[in-house]
Each structure stands twice: as structure tokens, then as C-alpha cells.
Amino acid sequence: MTENQGRTVPTEAYVTELDDRITGSVFTPDDAGYSAAVAGFNLLSQHRPGLVVAASTTADVQAAVAFAAAHDLPVGVMATGHQPFPLADGFLLITTGEMDAVEIDADRSVARVGAGARVSDIVELAQTAGLAPLHGASPTVGAVGFTLGGGLSPFLGRTHGWAADHILSIEVVTPDGVLRRVSAETEPELFWGLRGGRSNFGVVTELEIELFPVTSFYGGGIHYAAGDVEAVLRAFSEVVRNAPDGFTCSVALLNLPPIPEVPELLRGRLVAHVRVVHLGSDEEAEKLIAPFRAIGPAVSDTVGRHPYSEFDAVHADPADPAPYEEHSTALTDLPAEAVDRLVENARLIVGSPVTALEIRHLGGALAKRPSAASPIAARDAVFNVWGVTFGPPEVVDAGITVLREMVERLEPWATGHTITNFAGRDDRAEQVFTAEDLDRLRRLKRQYDPRNLFRVNNHNITPE
């Protein structure tokens, strides 16, 4: 290796040594395929690894990890690149997008999920057996990263809990290059730490996860005009009060730009987007959302009975990669004063660079702690507030400043921790884990990764 303006540059012999060990591809910054290999969904994560291994097999991952350990190279891991990546140079990036195999065991209601599989891959196959995984709002998110980050599902979470608590086994390549299959029975401490600690302890190549019987839901999205935003927020606080566990609701304040990619009804205006999912009867769902119906005519309304395969239409998350930053906080309560501050936040959004501010109802099974609970700090949270700004760096920087001001207004009800899947680029382990869990995770880090090779990804757990 050589140094070039402070950046580590691999020599030809160095690259050949690695390339000879794997069946996938190896890229350096000078290679034609490098830019595509390092690009994730979040285009603002312009990291510059010295080497990229596009792994196609578990053996590729083992070879890459062993190579990084032998040459003392920090390691980063990426499947789809949705979560922001700390900007870094000179590390070894392992991408797992090609390892996207999914197998459904209908008799056991279990899925085996490869490291690069997306949510849509699992839902599509599982639905053929009348089953569904715990998953997020977007079909393009990597299923393994989502699940290892806690896995907050806006569809099945309040009914079944956190996705990380429903992992049955994990195949992981640890920093010593060893492939381990861990579970509650085999290496239970590592199994505990991976279910929340993500790639801090190695590269997860496969998960075995539980599936649940569901083939349809009653729900969808309702858009209200800017003049109804305050009424929507107050109705939301009423709707979620004493809601059954099979009902999930969130409200997103959308401040979408006047560009052709945005639907004309939502283009260049502030709207409130109510998202509803109910696993019970249609009649029960309509009774639950009656306070929203009482507001008056909506801009659009897709609430109804839908096949589960249409889950992505509820939140209608962007499907194309874009540059963005996010910021969030978890809340223990939403009293009238907190709703007042959300209304104030809605006024701040108008004319600001902020693209969206969402408040999502948690609770239900998400508040329960199984006997072998994973290290998720947000079990005491009843709501999650999350905001995002899309655009070039200067727009994003301005938007994040406004988002931080909005979140600070909700500080009296904050839990003090961030849900892992919603962690921003600057969030650290202290924000993601409780002090007790972090101490335990650091002991685990000292055991499996004392040199902290796996330190490039977000919220790094240090050995000390």
C-alpha cells in the first residue's frame, strides 16, 4: 500500500493478492466499476474505500475479512446503502448485494435470508405461502440491515414486536475470518450482540427469521391540505390513544419540492400524510380512524382492503436513490403540549429545506421485552419522531439545522435514545444503546474484535 494525499492507495500486487482469493469482484478507485460499487441508496454517502470487494459467496466474505485483518485495514459493510455512512477513506468495503438468496420454509414459518436480499424479495416469496416478515415501509431496503438494526415494522411491529427479537439464527464471519452459525443455544452472547449491534462484530451473511400469517390489511394513505395540518395532528393523538395492537398509524408532514418527480397533487405544497394499517376488520378500522374522517375532504385517500403485497403504497417511500440526511428522537408520551409543539413545527416546515417530518405510534408488542431480548433501547418509547431533508449538501445542511430545532422542542418527552434504524450520520453508540447494554457490547467487542477493524459503519462500538 502507498499513501497519496493522505489516502491509502493499493498497489497492483496488493489487489492481485486479494483478487486471487475470491470469485466476486475487486475494485480500486481507478477501476471503471468503482463508482457504481460504492454507491448506495443515500447518494450523500460519498465514501472512498481503498478497496471494494463485491462478494458473491460466503467464502468471498471470509477471504475479504481475513485479508483486511492481515493488513490491518478497517472494514465497512454495505448491502443497499440506505442508512447514512460516515464519510471515510482508505478502508475495505464489502458489498453483499449479490448475496440475495431467499428460501421460505412454509411448514416452519421461517425464511432464510441472504445478506443482500431486499424486503421485497422476502415479501414476494413469503406471500406465496400466506406469510410475511417483519419489515419496514420501503421495499428496497436491505432486509438484513433492517432486522439487525432492531427492525421497526409499521405493519406488524405493534402486533409482533421488533424484528431483531424474531431472528432464529445468524451466520456471521467474525474478524478472525471464521464463519460462525450463532443462535440462542450456540454462542448466545454473540447472538445477543449482533441483534442490534449490526456489523460491529463481523459480516452477517445469512439470517433465519420468523414469518407470520397475513395476506391482506385494511389501510392506506390519506393526504390532507396545509390548512388541515393542525386538525390532523390533534386527531392523531386521539386515534392512537388506546388503539389495539393490530392497528398502526403515523402522520408525515410533507414539504415536497415543485419538481416533476412529485405527484402533481403534492407538488410544492405542505400536506399531512396519514398512514394507516389495520390487521383486523374493515369496520373496526373505520371506527378507529373516525377522527380523521371528521376533518373533512382529503386531497387523496387510498384507505381500503389491500393485498399484503401492496404494502409499499402505504408510505409511498421514494424508490430512486437520492442525497439526504435524517434526524430523529423517540418519545415516551404525546400530551397536549407536545402536540402543540408539533403544530409549531409544522409552521416551521413551510418555506424551509425540510422535506418530511413523521411521528409514528409505537407501543403494543414493541414495548415488551422477551426473555432473550436484543439490545434495543427504544422499548420504552411510545412514539418516534423522524425528519429528513433531500437535496444537495448545502440544502441538506440547512434542513438538518431546522430539524434539530424541531426535535429540541420535544426534548421534555424524549427517551434520550435513537432507534438504530433511524440513526443519523452523526449519531453514536451512546445515543443508540443504553449504558448497561453498551458496556456489555463493549465486552463483546473486546472478545471478537479487539482491534476494532469493524469501525467504519455508523454507531461504532469501541472495545474501550
Give the dihedral of Cα atoms 416, 433, 423, 364; nearest 10 deg. Answer: -70
Note the pLDDT tens digit of each residue in 107-157. Answer: 999 999 999 999 999 999 999 999 999 999 999 999 999 999 999 999 999
Look at the alpha carbons of 59, 61, 66, 68 in this order and tell me if their dihedral is positive or negative: positive
pLDDT computed for residue 11 by the predictor = 61
Length in residues, the chain:
464
How much is the pLDDT for 410?
96
Q: Would you state the cell numbers that stand for residue 343, as one nine-digit string?
A: 403544530
Please say whether the beta carbons of 53 and 26 come within 8 A: yes
- What Rg, from alpha-carbon coordinates, does the chain have? 22
Q: Cα(270)–Cα(257) distance, rounded to whole angstroms? A: 9
Eight-class DSSP state of 364: G
Q: Which of 193, 209, 218 is nearest to 448 (CA)?
A: 193
pLDDT for residue 6 = 42
What is the structure's pLDDT at 1?
A: 52
Query: Which residue from 358, 360, 296, 329 is spatially nearest to 432, judged by alpha carbons?
Result: 329
The three cell numbers of residue 60 are 468471498
Side chain identity, residue 276: V
Which pTM does this prediction carry?
A: 0.93
* pLDDT score, position 192: 96
The residue written with cell numbers 482508505 in the block is 90
- The number of beta carbons lying within 10 Å of the beta carbon of residue 260 is 7
The pLDDT value recorded for residue 458 is: 65
Residue listed under C-alpha cell 413551510: 350
CA distances for 410 relative to 30, 308, 389, angstroms: 47, 34, 19
Distance of CA 102 to the CA centre of its chain: 19
pLDDT digits (tens), the chain, 464 positions:
544 444 454 567 678 888 888 999 999 999 999 999 998 899 887 788 999 999 999 999 999 999 999 999 999 999 998 876 666 778 999 999 999 999 999 999 999 999 999 999 999 999 999 999 999 999 999 999 999 999 999 999 999 999 999 999 999 999 999 999 999 999 999 999 999 998 999 999 999 999 999 999 999 999 999 999 999 999 999 999 999 999 999 999 999 887 777 777 777 889 999 999 999 999 999 999 999 999 999 999 999 999 999 999 999 998 889 899 999 999 999 999 999 999 999 999 988 999 999 999 999 999 998 877 899 888 999 999 999 999 999 999 999 999 999 999 999 999 999 998 888 888 888 989 999 999 999 999 999 999 999 998 768 899 97
pLDDT (0 to 100) of residue 411: 96
Residue 411: strand, helix, or coil = helix
What is residue 10's predicted lDDT score, i.e. its pLDDT?
A: 58
**Burial classification of residue 411, based on how many CB atoms lie within 10 Å of its CB (0-12 exposed, 13-18 middle, 19 or more buried):** exposed
CA distance 22 to 59: 7
Domains within the chain, CATH numbers bracketed: 2-95 (3.30.43.10), 102-213+429-448 (3.30.465.10), 216-422 (3.40.462.20)
